[in-house]
């Protein structure tokens, strides 16, 4: 694949995709912060309303995600070459929106399995395609620094999202008299809003800014 030295426009694209990565990955922290609490309760210590699943069923839900990551991880590279890495990142964001909407609105446990599968698909597609996409924008002499910076956006999802965004939202809703289930659903809605904002940024980069710079978001097929 041809290495392109980033100009000012491509630098804007790099920071744009980094912003998308940060927003899209914030949902990981939101997801893991409240999923177990939302899906189950134990002797009334957690939710008085919810799915009330056992530890075994909860493990099945998480393993559904793991299977999706494995299966679609094998296909993510081919998907990026077929659609283009930038477009594939957008596809992953659409799938993330779908699973967040399911978690926020469903009352049927079967849909939770579907959402868990979608989550695995979204994570592996976004991660694989975003790294391939941003590699075009980073010159070889700066890959260590800029890839390290890009990697840092991933870890914003752990702790920061739950502490600074989802946690305060849930506590505020508790204070306003909302039920616990409603408050935790709202945490997923906040993640949904961030992914939508990230998708808008990514779509602008791929379909507006990239064509102006002459940088292709699609790799050559081999």
Whether 215 shows a pLDDT value over 90: the answer reads: no
pLDDT in tens, 93-147: 999 999 989 988 888 888 989 999 999 999 899 888 888 888 877 778 888 888 8
Q: Which two tokens stand for residue 8?
A: 């000012």
pTM: 0.78
pLDDT in tens, 20-56: 555 555 555 555 545 554 554 332 334 455 566 677 8
Interior angle at CA 156, CA 122 and CA 166, nearest 5: 80
pLDDT in tens, 52-72: 667 788 788 889 989 999 999
- The closest of 33, 16, 27, 21 to 154, measured between CA atoms, is 21
- The closest of 69, 27, 33 to 198, measured between CA atoms, is 27
Domain extents in the chain: 9-39+49-137+152-213
- The closest of 177, 189, 174 to 106, measured between CA atoms, is 189
CA torsion 198-90-86-131 (nearest 10°) is: 70
CATH of domain 9-39+49-137+152-213: 1.20.1250.20
Contact between 191 and 27 (Cβ < 8 Å):
yes
Distance CA(207)–CA(202), nearest Å, equals: 8
Residue with tokens 């030295």: 5
């Amino acid at each position: 694949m041809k290495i392109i030295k980033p100009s000012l426009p491509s630098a804007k694209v790099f920071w744009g995709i980094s912003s998308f990565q940060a927003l899209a990955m914030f949902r990981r922290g939101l997801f893991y912060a409240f999923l177990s609490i939302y899906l189950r309760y134990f002797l009334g210590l957690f939710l008085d309303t919810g799915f009330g699943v056992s530890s075994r069923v909860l493990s099945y839900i998480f393993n559904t995600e793991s299977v999706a990551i494995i299966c679609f991880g094998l296909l993510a590279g081919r998907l990026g070459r077929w659609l283009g890495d930038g477009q594939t990142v957008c596809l992953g964001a659409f799938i993330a929106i779908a699973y967040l909407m399911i978690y926020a609105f469903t009352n049927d446990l079967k849909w939770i399995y579907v959402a868990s599968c979608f989550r695995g698909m979204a994570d592996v597609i976004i991660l694989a395609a975003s790294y391939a996409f941003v590699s075009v924008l980073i010159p070889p002499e700066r890959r260590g620094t800029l890839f390290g910076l890009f990697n840092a956006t991933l870890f914003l999802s752990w702790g920061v999202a739950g502490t600074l965004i989802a946690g305060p939202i849930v506590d505020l809703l508790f204070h306003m008299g909302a039920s616990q289930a409603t408050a935790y659903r709202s945490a997923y809605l906040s993640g949904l809003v961030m992914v939508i904002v990230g998708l808008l940024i990514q779509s602008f980069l791929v379909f507006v800014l990239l064509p102006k710079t002459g940088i292709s978001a699609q790799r050559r097929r081999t």
